[in-house]
Amino acid sequence: GATAEDVKGKTIGIQVSTIQSEYYKKYFAAVAEEKTYQTLDEAFQDLSSGRIDYVFGDSLALDAFLKSDAGKDCCANMGDVTDDKEILGAGVSGGLRKEDTELKAKLNKAIAAVRANGQYDAVTKKYFDFDIYGAK
């Protein structure tokens, strides 16, 4: 992944009010310039036109951009940054009301079933080049 040395003196495009912005402030602010955007699409436009050097963003959005015509022609994935669970968290999740214990049990059972019977892997391979489930 990108290190502080890789981006030294470069400009990094980041969507405002995101975990990537917080990550930049902690690890890269001393060595690289931040250019903020309201959306990642705006950052991708500047990246593909050469107005910025890097984009920090969600891996799903970056993957989709790199597969697009504009992304394929200009850019490459530089890899993941070093993990920082304090900023990046443990992944994406859903929320339920505390009293919805029966629904929680059904959801957990359904997730376990599709992972066990191979349906999860089949769907994942159809749409993604990596395992979106995360930590196992």
- Do 70 and 15 lie in one domain? The reply is yes
- Do 38 and 83 lie in one domain? The reply is yes
Bridge partners (DSSP) of residue 36 are 14
- Do 13 and 80 lie in one domain? The reply is yes
Instruction: Please provide the average confidence, as pLDDT, over all residues in the chain.
Output: 91
Q: Model confidence over 107-119: pLDDT tens digits?
A: 999 999 999 999 9
- Within the chain, residue ranges assigned H as helices are 4-7, 19-27, 40-48, 59-67, 69-74, 85-88, 101-116, 119-127
- Do 66 and 111 lie in one domain? The reply is no
Report the number of distinct structural domains present in the chain: 2
- Do 81 and 106 lie in one domain? The reply is no
What's the whole-number mean pLDDT along residues 36-61? 95
What CATH number is given to the structural domain containing 9?
3.40.190.10
- Do 9 and 47 lie in one domain? The reply is yes
Residue 17 sits at the vertex; the CA angle it makes with 36 and 78, to the nearest 5 degrees, is 60
Cβ 19 vs Cβ 88: under 8 Å:
yes
- Do 53 and 21 lie in one domain? The reply is yes
What's the whole-number mean pLDDT along residues 32-58? 96
Tell me, what's the pLDDT at 54?
Answer: 96
Give the range of the structural domain holding residue 39, as residue numbers without chain letter: 4-88
- Alpha-carbon distance of 14 to 105, in angstroms, equals 38
